[in-house]
């Protein structure tokens, strides 16, 4: 085809002609898609995780050269210019991210993030990750982008939250007791005050442990207590998953993938008033 050879390399970019054709790139130019990355760089260095014939492989509006394949804060084209590996967040495996290395050895002392993983040294000490290694468990995901389990206790209101989330939720979780609030319309069966729980960081699951006042439980029927969350989008109460009641500790537990106003309801009364739920 056009005189191309199995071992030929017309533009001398390090990739044989027929291999380039098989990947949709041109054997006659060094950067077929004009994304700032040579065909050789996309095919050989990046392991053709981007396509040499497409300027925006994932069609997200960002050119492949400006993307950050390894999510280390350094663009693919900058990694090419600096000689770092665009597929590894820590090219030389020294525990310091490429971004931290690029910004300089003093970055940790200036920002309080010694390894440049997006978590402060203080947060890493609190969370039990390695503050001198960008990827403590060596799974290819920076600690700052990993989901970690944290236990956050607010003892004065008898609340504990086990949250599987990204970042240091101990610095993000906010809890506002709704003491004296009128509650929600039709909120029959309420046992004690609701609390509003919120966080600005992403999370996958939060397990709520909340202490209740046993003197407020109808007929002492504690096993029929449940944790509910008011879903603002649905405009109704939603029961938390995997409910459990510890009658010895006067504590109830439930799991949720969203946060908001959360409180204890006595299930028989609630269902009698809200049979549709």
**Per-residue pLDDT reduced to its tens digit, 69-94:** 888 778 899 888 888 899 988 888 87
What is the average pLDDT score of the chain?
83
If one counts every other C-beta atom within 10 angstroms of the C-beta of residue 148, the result is 20
107 pLDDT band, cuts 50/70/90, is very low
Q: Quick one: pLDDT band at residue 189, thresholds 50, 70, 90?
A: confident
Q: How many whole angstroms separate alpha carbon 231 and alpha carbon 36?
A: 47
Domain ranges of the chain: 147-273
Taking residues 159-186, report their average pLDDT.
82
Q: Are 267 and 224 in contact (CB under 8 A)?
A: yes
For the cut 70, the answer to whether the pLDDT of residue 237 exceeds it is yes
In this model, does residue 113 exceed pLDDT 80?
yes
Alpha helices in the chain (DSSP H): 17-22, 39-40, 76-82, 98-103, 107-111, 121-127, 267-273
Torsion of CA 262, 266, 269, 271, to 10 degrees: 60
Q: pLDDT at residue 108 above 50?
A: no
**Domain 147-273: assigned CATH number:** 2.60.220
Name the DSSP letter for residue 44. I
Does residue 5 have a pLDDT over 70? no
- Residue 241: phi and psi, rounded to 5, are -80, 160
Distances (CA, A) of 168 to 73, 124, 232: 19, 8, 26
DSSP state of 42: I
Strands (E), 8-154: 147-154
Burial (CB < 10 A; 0-12, 13-18, 19+), residue 128, is exposed
């Amino acid at each position: 085809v056009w005189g191309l050879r199995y071992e030929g390399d017309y533009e001398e970019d390090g990739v044989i002609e027929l291999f380039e054709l098989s990947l949709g790139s041109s054997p006659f130019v060094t950067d077929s898609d004009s994304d700032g990355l040579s065909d050789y760089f996309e095919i050989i260095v990046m392991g053709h995780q981007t396509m040499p014939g497409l300027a925006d492989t994932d069609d997200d509006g960002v050119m492949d050269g400006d993307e950050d394949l390894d999510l280390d804060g350094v663009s693919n084209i900058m990694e090419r210019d600096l000689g770092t590996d665009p597929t590894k967040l820590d090219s030389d495996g020294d525990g310091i991210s490429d971004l931290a290395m690029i910004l300089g050895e003093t970055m940790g002392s200036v920002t309080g993030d010694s390894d440049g993983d997006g978590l402060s040294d203080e947060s890493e000490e609190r969370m039990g990750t390695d503050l001198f290694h960008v990827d403590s468990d060596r799974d290819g995901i920076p600690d700052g982008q990993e989901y970690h389990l944290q236990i956050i206790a607010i003892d004065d209101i008898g609340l504990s939250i086990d949250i599987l989330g990204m970042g240091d939720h101990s610095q993000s979780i906010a809890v506002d007791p709704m003491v004296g609030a009128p509650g929600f319309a039709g909120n029959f069966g309420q046992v004690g005050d609701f609390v509003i729980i919120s966080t600005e960081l992403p999370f996958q699951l939060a397990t709520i442990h909340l202490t209740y006042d046993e003197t407020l439980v109808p007929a002492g029927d504690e096993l029929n207590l449940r944790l509910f969350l008011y879903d603002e989008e649905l405009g109704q109460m939603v029961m938390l998953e995997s409910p459990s009641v510890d009658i010895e500790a006067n504590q109830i537990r439930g799991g949720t993938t969203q946060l908001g106003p959360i409180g204890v309801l006595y299930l028989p009364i609630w269902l009698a008033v809200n049979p549709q739920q």
